Amino acid sequence: MSRPLTVALPVPNEPAPADGVLRYLGFDSCVRLPLRVDAARLGAELARLPAAAWGRIDRDPVVHAAVESFFAVGYPRGPRPLPPDDRPVLLELPYLREIVHEIVPAAPTRALVARLEPHSLIPIHTDTPRFFRGTVRLSIQVDADGAQRLYCNGLRYDLAAGEVWAIDNLRPHGVDNVGGRMRTNVIVDYRPSNALVALIADGDHGLGIRDDTGRRAFESSSAAHYRTRRWQSLRYELGKRWRRGWRGGA
C-alpha cells in the first residue's frame, strides 16, 4: 500500500538527516520494493567470475568474518570521500550494471556484492551514521538456501531471491543464513531521488515479524560471535582510530 510523503527530499548540500533518509521521509521499517530482478540471470553472471574476484576486502573483519565480497561501484569507506566510480569488474557483469544504474532510478554511491557462508551470520550491528545517513541502502537478493532472516530493530524480515529491499542500516540489524548454501546479495547505497522514494512509498510495508524466540536466539548467537573475536575486534577498533588520527580524518 502506497505511503504519502510528508516531507521533501533532503537538500544535498545541507547536513544529512541525523536518523537517516528512510526515517526522515517517514518510513519506519524495512520495505520490500515493487521491483524484481532476474535472480537466476544475475547469479549465473556472478558464477562466471574467477575465484580471485572475491575476497576479504577492507571491511569490519569481525562483523563480516563469514563474508566474501567485492566492490562493483565505489570504494571502502574512509576518512575522506571517494568518487562513486564503476570498478573494472562491472564490465564483466552487464546485468548487474543494468540493475544498479538503470533499473533502480537513483545514483549509486557504492555497490557491493557479498556472499555469506552457509550456517553462519552477520551479527547484529549498526552502520556508522556519518557514512550512511545521507543515502538509502538497498539489498538485492540473488541466491540462498530458503528464505533468509534479516533481523532489524527487533523484527524479522524473510527475504527471497529476486526481491529488492530498502534496509534501515542505521538501526541494529544482522542476517542469519540458516541454509546450506552461500547467501549472495548485492548491497547498494543510493543518493535519494524522487523516483526511488516513490518506489519505496509504493512498496510493501509492515512485513516485519515479531519473533521473540528467534530474535533472542539470534541475539545470543551474535553475542557469542563477538565474544570469540573480542581481541580481533579490539585490534580493529584501535587500528581504525589510529588511522583516523594519522590521516587527520574525522
Q: pLDDT (tens digit, 9 = 90+) per residue, 13-68? A: 667 888 999 999 999 889 999 999 999 999 999 999 999 999 976 667 889 999 99
Q: What is the pTM of this model?
A: 0.89
- How far apart, in Å, are the Cα atoms of 70 and each of 48, 58, 105? 14, 10, 23
Q: Is the pLDDT of residue 81 over 80?
A: no
List, in order, residues 6 or more apart from 149 with CB less than 8 Å away.
156, 157, 158, 159, 175, 176, 178, 214, 218
**Lowest model confidence (mean pLDDT) among 131-135, 174-178, 216-220:** 131-135
Tell me what the mean pLDDT of segment 149-153 comes to.
96
- Tell me, what's the pLDDT at 249? 43
Residue 189, helix vs strand vs coil: strand
Confidence of residue 204 (pLDDT cuts 50, 70, 90): very high
- Tell me, what's the pLDDT at 82? 83
Whether 24 and 138 have beta carbons less than 8 Å apart is answered as no
- Tell me, what's the pLDDT at 60? 77
Q: Is the pLDDT of residue 3 over 60?
A: no
Higher pLDDT, 241 or 161: 161
- Tell me, what's the pLDDT at 1? 45
List, in order, residues 6 or more apart from 15 with CB less than 8 Å away.
none
| pLDDT mean across residues, the chain | 88
Tell me what the mean pLDDT of segment 237-250 comes to.
52
Q: Is the pLDDT of residue 206 over 60?
A: yes
Tell me what the mean pLDDT of segment 99-117 comes to.
97
166: region left, alpha or beta (phi > 0 left; psi from -120 to 50 alpha): beta
- Tell me, what's the pLDDT at 23? 93
Domains of the chain: 21-247 (2.60.120.330)
| DSSP symbol at 137 | E
